[in-house]
Amino acid sequence: MSNIVVVGSQWGDEGKGKIVDYLSENADVIVRFQGGHNAGHTLVINGKTYKLSILPSGIVRQDKISVIGNGVVIDPWALLNEIEAIKKTGIKISSENLKISNSAPLILPIHSQIDKAREIQRGDSKIGTTGRGIGPAYEDKVARRAIRVSDLKDKSLLKEKVNKLLNHHNIWLKAQNFETLDPENIIANILDISQYILEFADETWVTLDNYNLKGKRILFEGAQGTMLDIDHGTYPFVTSSSTVSGNAASGSGFGLLNISKVLGITKAYTTRVGSGPFPTEQKNEIGNKLGELGHEFGTVTGRKRRCGWFDAVMVKQAIKISGISSIALTKLDVLDKFDELKVCTSYKIGGKEINFFPSCQIDQNQIEPNYEIIEGWNMKTEGISYFDKLPANAIKYIKRLESLIECKINIISTSPRREDTIILENIFN
């Protein structure tokens, strides 16, 4: 058995897309198990860039099966637009290589309307949501109001459920003086595309079980990062789903005991999009330099990412929470032009040193990072694909990170390109 879960171990944007794409060469099935089209992956393959927001990264490999699990919330119009965009690059997509869970909830225009209205109401206390309706869609799932992929099979049931959903949400929108939406328009628009979505509909948990019984290698791909998890992240500045590795099982219907390894993806520094605490953030020339060299803009939103030094406390915590067995370190090359680097080794709150990221929001805002200074290498690592070819100080930096986070780094990325990857251990073996 060799089924692997890939999760982010910071605040997302760690470069999961490239690593999943690289690993999918040795996988048979690639599964997306949570999130929506608020997260994105950028793949650079043979000089061509693919930007994905809801399709699994494995979709660009024609001989692989891609699965969107029940833990994902799906905007059907965004999905179809993405499918068409990828098809135009020459990639073939059909029910043979893309399967969508019948149980996956749909994101409707009412969800985006609510999302944006709430952010307006928050004023200066904005969460930083993308406004794409992901949060409200998950709320409806928990409240047992969701429209699911399987509901598209029955026109009368679909109408009934959409009317009830809109009646519920329009009351709040009207009371807050926001524009309400017409259920008839939404029903008509869904019916126009329902057959295109149903083409990919599948009892995906059965499909995954069958593949597992045949000895196929299954790769589970998470969105965002562990510190954006709804339970274990920097609440309330988090996403609306569970981003930890355990959700790979519940978000796909795949038995937890069938998962053999968890790979955490970690940048060689730290970034964050939107609001929320960020102890190692550099609101200075260092932060600007990291952002410029790392091209730190969101794949989906284009938003500028906040940048800072590597936070070993946070990554170590993510490793423990997600049960990460090894780390893929990305964007090492971004640090090539620094004379010295800093790594956060512990926190100080009110004069007291701690070695974990606190759950209390007040404590989070009072964190002072304790740094260790490490000499930079001022040499080019971009494009290096052998560990012993790295500059000596780059190797020292990697080894020091391993020691601090207490986890082995067995993959190192030195550029966005697929081929610029150092493999110290084949995790599928």
Read out DSSP for 237-293? SS-SS--STTHHHHTTT--GGG--EEEEEEESSEEE-SSS--TTB--SHHHHHHHHH
What is the rounded end-to-end Cα distance, in angstroms, of the chain?
9
H or E element, residue 196: helix 183-198
Torsion of CA 335, 341, 346, 352, to 10 degrees: -140
Distance CA 140, CA 153 (A): 20
Res 129: pLDDT = 75
Q: Choosing from 13, 21, 75, 333, which is the catalytic residue?
A: 13
Contacts of residue 112, Cβ cutoff 8 Å, sequence gap at least 6: 131, 132, 133
Q: Is the Cβ–Cβ distance between 222 and 239 less than 8 Å?
A: no
Angstrom CA distances, 193 to 75, 79, 134, 196, 199, stand at: 12, 11, 20, 5, 10
| Encoded tokens for 238 | 């988090």
DSSP tag of 355: S
Torsion of CA 179, 194, 86, 6, to 10 degrees: 80
Query: Of 82-86, 343-347, 394-398, which range is least confident?
Result: 82-86
Q: 44 pLDDT exceeds 80?
A: no
Percentage of the chain exceeding pLDDT 90: 79
49 exposure class (CB count in 10 Å sphere: 0-12, 13-18, 19+): exposed
Q: 48 pLDDT exceeds 80?
A: no
Q: Is 13 a catalytic residue?
A: yes
65-79 residue pLDDT tens: 999 999 999 999 999
**Cα-trace Rg, the chain:** 22
Provide the residue count of the chain: 429
Res 110: pLDDT = 95
Please report, as a single letter, which amino acid is at residue 313. Answer: V
Angstrom CA distances, 418 to 53, 290, 322, 422, stand at: 19, 22, 26, 10
Number of alpha carbons in the 13 Å side-chain half-sphere of residue 163 = 7
Q: Is the Cβ–Cβ distance between 36 and 75 less than 8 Å?
A: yes
Q: Choosing from 21, 37, 41, 333, which is the catalytic residue?
A: 41
pTM metric for this prediction:
0.91
Query: Of 12-26, 125-139, 227-241, 355-369, which range is least confident?
Result: 125-139
Per the prediction, the chain carries an average pLDDT of 93
Q: 128 pLDDT exceeds 70?
A: no
Distance CA 299, CA 315 (A): 22
In this structure, are strands 340-349 and 326-330 parallel, antiparallel, or unpaired? unpaired
Distance CA 112, CA 130 (A): 9
Res. 39 pLDDT band, cuts 50 70 90: low
Res 422: pLDDT = 95
Res. 46 pLDDT band, cuts 50 70 90: confident
Q: Is the Cβ–Cβ distance between 7 and 312 less than 8 Å?
A: no
Q: Is 169 a catalytic residue?
A: no
Q: Is the Cβ–Cβ distance between 221 and 57 less than 8 Å?
A: yes
Q: At what angle do helices 183-198 and 155-175 cross, to 10 degrees?
A: 140
**pLDDT (mean) for 128-137:** 85
Distance CA 253, CA 211 (A): 13
**pLDDT (mean) for 382-398:** 95
Q: Is the Cβ–Cβ distance between 127 and 277 less than 8 Å?
A: no
Q: Is the Cβ–Cβ distance between 66 and 58 less than 8 Å?
A: yes
Strand partners, 30: 66, 219
Query: Of 49-53, 64-68, 131-135, which range is least confident?
Result: 49-53
Which SS3 state, helix, strand or coil, does residue 137 take? Answer: helix
Angstrom CA distances, 407 to 147, 237, 326, stand at: 41, 27, 6
Q: Of the spans 47-51, 131-135, 323-327, which averages the highest pLDDT? A: 323-327
